[in-house]
Chains A and B, each alone.
Chain A
Amino acid sequence: MGLSSGFLAVVLTRLAHAIPIFFAIISINFLLIHVAPGDPASYLASQSEGSVEYQAQLRQEFGLDKPLVVQLGIYLGKVVRGDLGMSYRYRQPVADLILSRVGNTFLLLGTGYLLATLIGILLGAFAAQRANSFADQLTTFAALAFYSMPVFWLGQLMLLFFALELGWFPTQGMVNIRLAATGWAKVIDVAHHLVLPASTYALYQLTLMYRLARSKLQDVLKEDYITTARAKGLPERVVVYKHALRNALLPLVTVLGMDFAFVLAGTVLVETVFAWPGMGRLMFDAIAARDYPVLTGIFTVVTAMVIIVNILTDLIYAWIDPRVVYD
């Protein structure tokens, strides 16, 4: 499949839509800081600890004496250059802090997401084959139950049972500091720490995958080519997992994109339970320390990610299915 001019047009249209939305959201964020009670400088310098000189420096740096529109311009200019301000607590640029954590977040998110997709599709196929049976109703109810739990509470339960009661997994962190492992030993150590947070996350995300896989497969199983495949005498296993699943996969690919913000919010909460050193944990610490530049910085980065993932999702859709046209 080559990159046709139609595809290129889709790319350009989506970008043209996305960029103003990004700036609008960042402006809302900026306005919040300014409408909030108190002096923005004291917020940016962290209310409790910011020294008078530091606040004066910030006031000049952000042009807080200038009109609001000029200030917004300065702020957006900084965001475009990747300057998200300085963390008061860590005395480091916020962008560097986020970059050092984002990999850990994606390790957790990626593993959990992969697990959720695999299990969700298998369970969905299982249920779709015996729609409305007792087994189907049971799995559907279980999926709804997991969807109704606060994900961090599910994490606390997992931690209570598998880490504290049974002692199978570590309670927190990403590596055992006392072990100070390197090479393969380190990989195993990280994987061992990853099991509980990733499983918690997978259970949380599973419901969406399961529901979509189940309803999509139910529809596909009624199609003519499935009847043909069955008529040819192919085993039911081949019909479901090879012929039907392949056609039901497209919407699943795009679940991630549809609600990436929801996906990230779940990660923040899971990271907090297991003290996983990712972006979410950084955000939690920033709230406790009133480290406002970190909070707003993470918001900016998350917004950018959500918008980029939205665009990628649309593009993948348009690429897989050329019938999709965007106006």
Chain B
Amino acid sequence: MTSVDAIAAESAAAAQPAGFAGFWAIFRRNPRGVIGLAVLTLFVLLAAAAPVIAPFGQKATGVGASFGAPDLVHLMGTDNLGRDVFSRFLGGCRISLLVGVAAAFASTVIGLLVGMTSGYFGGTIDNVLMRFTELFQTIPRFFLAMVAVALFGASIWNIVFAIAILSWPVTARLARAEYLSLRHREFADAARVIGVGTLGIMVIELLPNAAGPVIVNASLQVAQAILLEAGLSYLGLGDPGNASWGVMLYEAQPALRTAWWMSVFPGLGIFFVVLSLNLLGDAINDTLSPRSRAR
């Protein structure tokens, strides 16, 4: 994990963004980042194409024997109800990625709003917002998410909401640090002089310069959200109507003795996606840091 302050410090020191071409020229020399990007792309394509390539219906029962071992018809075997595990794996990929991306997106938006306001205005506003952020950082978020999802019902949107509302503080602190250092830079003052409004400066002038660490953090948050959702689902708080990889692992637990394939494949899915996101996040961070720019 990359520390909040380290990301902030590195990007604040970085030169003006060199555009996507400049970014890519450095990024592609990082083998781990490229592998992460490739694996992630593969899973995104699998998720997108799931309805087309899934050999059986995701919820269709009895398409094979109950607890059938993997073979050429059922690549990942079948589960207790005779459902095709490979088809469910593809559907689970869609749900897990959807929850991860949606939760990370929502938490990034909340975090940006809080952090931008806090860092740009400073003073009392900053103080109040940071106390609030501190409060949310102290909350044992996995446990509160459990209580909330148990109370409000385990639909995927409730799960997304619970994860988002508990994950924004890191983004807020990153954005705040960026805005604190950027708000009195020359280009911001120049914009002020020519009469650009506060909102214009915050969004048009400063946001592109503060985006680096927020993007890095967002990719790590997708990974964290996927793991959180899997954990909640494993404890029986998943959406049974939209089976994610986590829900599949929950269903696999009582069948471990008879059907290892019910557990091994969905877990591998989570593992590869989370690993590729972590590799990607580290690589983007390295690419944006001034040390690699100098090279």
With an 8 A cutoff between CB atoms, is B210 at the interface? no
**Given the contacts A150-B246, A261-B140, A272-B234, A37 and B152 also touching, CB distance less than 8 Å:** yes
Q: How far is the CA of A153 from the CA of B235 in the complex (A)?
A: 12
Q: How far is the CA of A317 from the CA of B263 in the complex (A)?
A: 42
Return the contact of A36 from the options B139, B143, B146, B151 (Cβ within 8 A). B151
A37 to chain B: which residues have CB within 8 Å?
152-153
With an 8 A cutoff between CB atoms, is B141 at the interface? yes
Q: How far is the CA of A292 from the CA of B179 in the complex (A)?
A: 42
B237 to chain A: which residues have CB within 8 Å?
287
Contact with A along B138-175 (1 / 0, CB 8 A): 11111110111011110000000000000000000000
With an 8 A cutoff between CB atoms, is B236 at the interface? yes
A36 to chain B: which residues have CB within 8 Å?
151-152
B150 to chain A: which residues have CB within 8 Å?
287, 290, 292, 295
Contact with A along B232-250 (1 / 0, CB 8 A): 0011110000000010010
B151 to chain A: which residues have CB within 8 Å?
32-33, 36, 43, 292
Q: How far is the CA of A141 from the CA of B152 in the complex (A)?
A: 39
Interface centre among B151, B153, B253 (most CB of A within 10 A): B151
With an 8 A cutoff between CB atoms, is A152 at the interface? yes
A:130-163 near B, CB below 8 Å: 141, 144-145, 147-150, 152-153, 156-157, 159-160
With an 8 A cutoff between CB atoms, is A12 at the interface? no
| 17 CB-based A-B contacts, threshold 8 Å | A32-B151, A36-B152, A144-B279, A150-B230, A150-B270, A153-B271, A157-B264, A160-B256, A164-B256, A261-B139, A261-B142, A287-B235, A287-B236, A299-B140, A299-B146, A303-B139, A303-B143
With an 8 A cutoff between CB atoms, is B225 at the interface? no
Contact with A along B213-231 (1 / 0, CB 8 A): 0000000000100010011
The chain B residue with its CB closest to the CB of A264 is: B140
The chain A residue with its CB closest to the CB of B151 is: A36
**Given the contacts A150-B230, A261-B142, A295-B147, A284 and B235 also touching, CB distance less than 8 Å:** yes
The 7 closest A-B pairs by CB, nearest first: A153-B267, A261-B140, A265-B142, A148-B275, A36-B151, A148-B274, A156-B263
With an 8 A cutoff between CB atoms, is A127 at the interface? no
Segment touching B, from A22-30, A84-92, A110-118? A22-30
Q: How far is the CA of A310 from the CA of B137 in the complex (A)?
A: 12
The chain A residue with its CB closest to the CB of B268 is: A153
Return the contact of A145 from the options B134, B227, B263, B275 (Cβ within 8 A). B275
With an 8 A cutoff between CB atoms, is A41 at the interface? no
With an 8 A cutoff between CB atoms, is B135 at the interface? yes
CB distance from A148 to the nearest CB of B (A): 4
CB distance from B61 to the nearest CB of A (A): 23
With an 8 A cutoff between CB atoms, is B12 at the interface? no
Count chain B residues whose beta carbon lies closer than 8 angstroms to a beta carbon of A. 42
Question: Is the CB–CB distance between A149 and B141 below 8 Å?
Answer: no
With an 8 A cutoff between CB atoms, is A298 at the interface? yes
B135 to chain A: which residues have CB within 8 Å?
21, 24-25
With an 8 A cutoff between CB atoms, is A199 at the interface? no
**Given the contacts A148-B271, A156-B263, A268-B235, A25 and B138 also touching, CB distance less than 8 Å:** yes
B257 to chain A: which residues have CB within 8 Å?
164
Count chain A residues whose beta carbon lies closer than 8 angstroms to a beta carbon of B. 49
With an 8 A cutoff between CB atoms, is A125 at the interface? no
CB distance from A159 to the nearest CB of B (A): 6
With an 8 A cutoff between CB atoms, is B278 at the interface? yes
A24 to chain B: which residues have CB within 8 Å?
135
B:176-204 near A, CB below 8 Å: none
Interface centre among A145, A150, A159, A269 (most CB of B within 10 A): A150
B260 to chain A: which residues have CB within 8 Å?
160
The chain A residue with its CB closest to the CB of B154 is: A287
The chain A residue with its CB closest to the CB of B148 is: A32
A:4-29 near B, CB below 8 Å: 21, 24-25, 28-29
B140 to chain A: which residues have CB within 8 Å?
261, 264-265, 299, 302-303, 306
Contact with B along A146-187 (1 / 0, CB 8 A): 011110110011011000100000000000000000000000
With an 8 A cutoff between CB atoms, is B85 at the interface? no
B:1-38 near A, CB below 8 Å: 1, 32
Q: How far is the CA of A129 from the CA of B236 in the complex (A)?
A: 45
6 additional A-B pairs beyond A43-B151, A287-B237, beta carbons within 8 Å, are A32-B144, A144-B275, A150-B231, A152-B230, A153-B270, A299-B143
With an 8 A cutoff between CB atoms, is B101 at the interface? no
The chain A residue with its CB closest to the CB of B141 is: A261
With an 8 A cutoff between CB atoms, is A273 at the interface? yes
**Given the contacts A156-B256, A265-B143, A272 and B267 also touching, CB distance less than 8 Å:** no
